[in-house]
A and B are shown apart, each in its own frame.
Chain A
Amino acid sequence: TQLLEQSPQFLSIQEGENLTVYCNSSSVFSSLQWYRQEPGEGPVLLVTVVTGGEVKKLKRLTFQFGDARKDSSLHITAAQPGDTGLYLCAGARGQGGKLIFGQGTELSVKP
């Protein structure tokens, strides 16, 4: 059973376009993390959201945690080729629970 569903799984866009990646679950998470993984490297943490409804911005990336803490979105404005990579969301359930990862969204931004 996949607890965290990411969509879309693959996305290929032109430089300058906007995009949104979704991370959905029927479970409530105490916090949610977003990572980016580039080819040949390990995932790197981008942001952690903790409060329902929270919005965090990282340059052209905007992260939102759903009010009910069951879902999250990542919006990229004016995508650049350097944004290419695998985007992973990971939910934490309580202090003792392990991280649950989504299957990832593979983004390709063409110049």
Chain B
Amino acid sequence: ETGVTQTPRHLVMGMTNKKSLKCEQHLGHNAMYWYKQSAKKPLELMFVYNFKEQTENNSVPSRFSPECPNSSHLFLHLHTLQPEDSALYLCASSQDRVNQPQHFGDGTRLSIL
């Protein structure tokens, strides 16, 4: 039980499809994050939500759209993605501040055809 659950674990989609990634945390945390992990690159922070409010958008293209309906759930809506968007997308949570130790889910492996 990692405390942070991501679904689906794997996703293959075409460039014109619309899909959503889901993240749920059972740790009572107030901050949630989306990261992109590509081979041989550092983890890239995409979005930060603190107490359901988006506090950071790290210059992410608009084809990625986050949604945080409550402190326990986080979504990443995908539309018209590019092949270079293929990566592992990780969700994480922390108690309340962005630089606290983070608890990660196991990620969604996304492949864009």
Contacts and interface: CB of A to CB of B under 8 A. Distances in A.
B40 to A, nearest CB: 7
SS class of chain A's interface: helix, strand, loop or mixed?
loop
Interface string B48-71: 100000001000000000000000
Interface in A49-98: 88, 90, 92-98
A108 interface: no
A94 B99 contact: yes
The interface size bin for chain A is: 20 to 34
Contact of B45 (A30, A92, A99, A103): A99
Contacts of A42: 2, 4, 90, 92, 104-107
Contact of A33 (B41, B45, B56, B101): B101
Interface residues of B, number: 22
B97 interface: yes
B5 to A, nearest CB: 11
A99 B43 CA distance: 10
B103 interface: yes
Given A4-B42, A35-B104, 17 more contacts: A40-B106, A42-B90, A42-B92, A42-B104, A42-B105, A43-B90, A43-B102, A45-B102, A48-B101, A90-B43, A92-B99, A93-B99, A96-B98, A98-B45, A99-B98, A99-B99, A104-B42
Interface of B: 2, 4, 40-43, 45, 48, 56, 90, 92, 97-107
26 contacts: A2-B42, A4-B42, A33-B101, A41-B106, A41-B107, A42-B90, A42-B92, A42-B104, A43-B90, A43-B102, A43-B104, A44-B104, A45-B102, A48-B101, A93-B99, A95-B99, A96-B99, A97-B99, A98-B48, A99-B98, A99-B102, A100-B42, A101-B42, A101-B43, A102-B42, A103-B42
